Structure formats: structure tokens, C-alpha cells
Structure 1
Amino acid sequence: MEEQHKYRVVAWWTSGRTGTAKSDSAPNSIHFTAPPEFGGLEGRWTPEDLLLGAVASCFTTTFRVIAEYAKFEYSDLEVEAEGIVRKSDSGYSFSEILLRPTLMISSEQDQGRALGLLRKAKALCMVSRALATAPKLEVRVQVSKLLPVG
């Protein structure tokens, strides 16, 4: 694998309170606005949502790679990301980012290993490592019986 990768997103303001962002790697653009509490519109993605989405999706994909490499089986992973924005002397910024992954596994015996892999995913997620506010982790591992498909 190459040692350097480049990613590019272009964002532009399209009208009054909305903008559009486009990535070279995806065909669809994302319409965004500021949060309503900062004069934006309801019902659109905000930069804050996109940041939390980047952290949650990075954690999810990082865990998938780690679990695959470790030959660890799970039936589902859902990751909730919550951010707290506070005002300081220098302006508004995220003061906390909390990840709540819920991992579904089939055996209680795998819980310890699951926790270790989830912590490893947090440590290796490159989006989280790029942030000044390091995400915190609240893990939930649930046991469920795998149902046969078909």
C-alpha cells in the first residue's frame, strides 16, 4: 500500500443559507447549511454533522478492517457519534466527541476480544487522530444468536 493518499472535497456556497460539497470519490454532492442555532436552515447537513459522520464512519470502517484481519466475527456494528460544542474565549469549538459503538456478537466468550478490537479501532481511526479534541469511547457489546440466512 502506498504511504501517502490524497483526498479532495470542494465546497461552495450556492444561495442565501446553503452550500454544496462534492468529493472526487463520490458521484453525489451533499447540501449543507450552518446549524439552525447559528442562522442555518432546518433539515440539512451541517459541518458539525459532517464531522461527526466522518468520525463515526472512520471508526466503523477501521473496525471492519481490524476485525477482518483478526478473523473476528460479528453480526452488526452501529456507531453513534455525539459532539458537544462550547464557546470559549477563542470562539466555538468541539469540547467533546463521544462515540457509542454497539457491536453484536454471537458468543459471550468473545466480549473481551470485542472490547479490545473496538479500542484498537478508536486508536487507529485516522479521522479521530486528526482532531484536536480526541473522541472518547463508550462501548456497548451485545450478544445475539446469528440466524441462518436463506
Structure 2
Amino acid sequence: MFTASTLSGSKPEQYAQLLEQARGLLYGEHDRIANAANLSALVYHSLPDLNWVGFYFYDGNELVVGPFQGLPACVRIPLHKGVCGAAASTRQTQRVEDVHAFPGHIACDAASRSELVVPLVRNGELVGVFDLDSPLPGRFDAEDQQGLEAIAQAWIEALQ
């Protein structure tokens, strides 16, 4: 049975602890849905000031909602729309301090004010995105980005 431990220390130390917990959850499991569900729950319940954490999977045409924690979400996102679409189409992490200032932002949850979206790319192919929303403006910084990119990479590596 998995038990999450309380994160402590500096932000980089906390992300190192969270990554270790994530790897423990992923160990020996290769199913993308199961792993996405567990990682969404782990991150949502471990980090403060989040109102949505989850995955969107690329179906060859658009992003389709996968496992998540938070309020019901937009089901389909075109690659040219919103922060998730920008991350998917550019294959670069998008860190947005104020989603209301982001051109084409899709407001799935009106409470969201900032967002971080990590593209999930395996062997050069887009798999989807790992999306985090916060009700606080400017919630995500470079340390959050680095830590969450490492967690997303662990998810990709578990796919085999």
C-alpha cells in the first residue's frame, strides 16, 4: 500500500521527495491510465494551491481529457487552442502567470488564474500533456516547472 509522506525542506527538496514518491507509484506499472490517475492524485494532494491536476491525451487529432483531480474539465482541446494546445503544438512547457492574459485561454474552471502545462513526448511523438491549474495568479515558478517536468518524464519512462 502506498502512503504519501509530507514534503519538507526547500522547494527543490520537496520536488525531489515528490519525484521519489511518483517513481514508487509508477514502479512496475506500465498502463498509462493507471499511472496518470495515480500521479494526478499524488500531485493534487501533495502540492498547495492547486485546483486541477490531470492529463490530456493526444488522439492523433486533438487532446482528450484523461485522469484528473478537480472539477469536471473540458473534454476536447484543439492543438491550436488554450495553454494545453500551445504546449502540445510547440512541445514546450507553458507556464502562465495569468491565464486571463493568455490569448485563446479556455476557461474550464473559472477559478483558475495560473497554469503550467508540460507536453508529454515519447520517442519524438506527442502523447499528451500534464496540466496543472491554480486559483492563485503566478502560482508556478521555474522550480515548479523543473520539478513537474521531472515528474512528467517519470510518467513517460514508465510507459516503456
Given the two structures, how large is their TM-score scaled by the length of structure 2? 0.25
Q: Which has the higher helix share?
A: 2
Given the two structures, how large is their TM-score scaled by the length of structure 1? 0.26
For the pair shown, the structure with the greater C-alpha radius of gyration is 1
- Which structure has the higher relative contact order (CA within 8 Å, separation 6+)? 2
Q: Which has the higher strand share?
A: 1
